[in-house]
Amino acid sequence: MRVHRYSFQKKKKSKEMIIGIGVGAAALFLCLGGQSTAVEKLKQGFASFLYEEVLDWYMPAAGSQDLPSASPLGEKGIAQHLLAHFFPVTGFLSQEKEALPDYPLQVESELSYEMILAWEASDENYVDEETKKVIAASGEPLPQAVEEMPKLTEEADLAQGAATAYDAVGTYGMRQKAVTYPREKLNDFDYLIQNFYQVDNTTTIDGNQLNAAKLLEKNMKLTHDASTPQILIYHTHSQEGYADSIPGDLGTSVVGVGDYLTNLLTEKYGFSVIHHRGTYDVESRDHAYSKAAPALEQLLAENPSIEVVIDLHRDGVGENTRLVTNIDGKQTAQVMFFNGLSRTTKMGDIGYLYNPNIEDNLAISFQMQLAAAEYYPGFTRRIYLKGYRYNMHYCPKTLLIEVGAQTNTFEEALNAMEPLADVLHTVLMGQQES
């Protein structure tokens, strides 16, 4: 037995040596130029061999990650990655300013781009109308334990108690803080995450990107008056309704909630608001974001004065979960701010879903979250961070807001617009104390 094992190991090492030499030669060849049909066919053949055979032999774990049959890296990307992996010295030969990405970060391809758009559109929880089950992005029903948000920390519990005991003075806009979060504590990344964020396990973030001091110093104040449009409200998922919504009646869905928010912002706070009631998920939720994008682009092009974009949604939770709190004696649906990071744990930074406004997106949602936590404790759930982009790249001050869930009543969702409008006014007018 010992002899056979030794023989097998020798053969294995020999095969590794042969394939290693082949990898080097093939990868170097793929990096070369050449535009002839014959050369291109040879390059494609080598790319296929490297991807399907060599990757399985040397990196079986990478091959088990449900990767597409065609590499998103392309021929040259495969060659560069394998050269860097097997022959690290080749990295010093590159004249590029940025280091090569780690597998499986992307070079743009139409196939993977289309797949990402589909995943993005179905990346939020939704409720199957027939089964009434909450469906996750994977297509599987969510267990109750996953649907519910983590419990608040002890300090947040104390803030909730303070809000209950607090008696609001006067109207919205004259309210006093119920609780104050020390700014020095917010600069602790662990404290910040535990109290203000829920990071989905499909993405990652660190203290460099999620820095409270930097997020708070961003100026979210509007730069012009209401003589021209300032705020745009729209709905990627217009068909999301509530427990007592009337099927087919947008006025009782999340779109109706947007109507009320528009009225509050214009009539009570004096903002100039456009409410776009277009529908992009009537037949299917698939590609809802890409379907909404042209209309969003047109609206922003026609109204360049718009500084704030709000995509208003409704979440999906287990039937036994109630996202409700009491504000000023009213049963009020809780809201949740949602940010896309254009980054997944599998793909890393998604270059073809580049968002130059991520820092500003994170800043406005955090300033909104902090103002809500201090003026209306218990009103918001933690900010949810996930991959992909969600059309948040069109405008720096973009908010994706989940208003309650299918277990809330329409009235509870409407009631939520009153504190939400007040928090928007506080942040956009620069009235929050530092």
* Separation of alpha carbons 241 and 223, rounded Å: 34
Q: What is the pLDDT of residue 188?
A: 96
**If we measure between CA atoms, which residue out of 221, 156, 190, 173 comes closest to residue 363?**
221
* Separation of alpha carbons 401 and 394, rounded Å: 16
Contact call for residues 309 and 220 (beta carbons, < 8 A):
no
Residue 352 identity (one-letter amino acid): Y
| Sign, Cα dihedral of 108, 114, 115, 121 | positive
* Separation of alpha carbons 412 and 26, rounded Å: 63
Angle between helix 358-375 and 189-196 (nearest 10): 70
Q: What is the pLDDT of residue 284?
A: 75
| Sign, Cα dihedral of 201, 72, 351, 89 | positive
| Sign, Cα dihedral of 365, 368, 372, 373 | positive
**If we measure between CA atoms, which residue out of 229, 335, 355 comes closest to residue 289?**
355
**If we measure between CA atoms, which residue out of 427, 425, 323 comes closest to residue 380?**
323
Counting beta carbons within 10 angstroms of the beta carbon of residue 305, is it exposed (0 to 12), middle (13 to 18) or buried (19 or more)? Answer: middle
Task: Please list the pLDDT of the chain residue by residue as tens digits (434 residues).
Answer: 444 444 444 444 555 555 555 555 555 555 555 555 555 555 555 555 555 554 454 444 444 333 333 434 444 444 444 444 444 443 333 333 333 233 222 222 333 444 444 555 555 554 455 554 444 443 444 443 333 343 334 344 444 444 333 333 334 445 889 999 999 999 999 999 999 999 999 999 999 999 999 999 999 999 999 999 999 999 999 999 999 999 999 999 999 999 999 999 999 999 999 999 999 988 777 789 999 999 999 999 999 999 999 999 999 999 999 999 999 999 999 999 999 999 999 889 999 899 999 999 999 999 999 999 999 999 999 999 999 999 999 999 999 999 999 999 999 999 999 999 999 999 999 987 65
pTM of this prediction? Answer: 0.67
- Backbone φ and ψ of 79, nearest 5°: -60, -45
Q: What is the pLDDT of residue 322?
A: 93
Maximum Cα–Cα distance for the chain, whole Å? Answer: 89
Q: What is the pLDDT of residue 433?
A: 64
Please name the residues in contact with 360: beta carbons below 8 A apart, sequence gap of 6 or more: 218, 396, 397, 398
Q: What is the pLDDT of residue 217?
A: 96
* Separation of alpha carbons 182 and 193, rounded Å: 15
Q: What is the pLDDT of residue 125?
A: 57
- The alpha carbon of residue 124 and the mean position of all alpha carbons in its chain are separated, in whole angstroms, by 9
* Separation of alpha carbons 382 and 322, rounded Å: 15
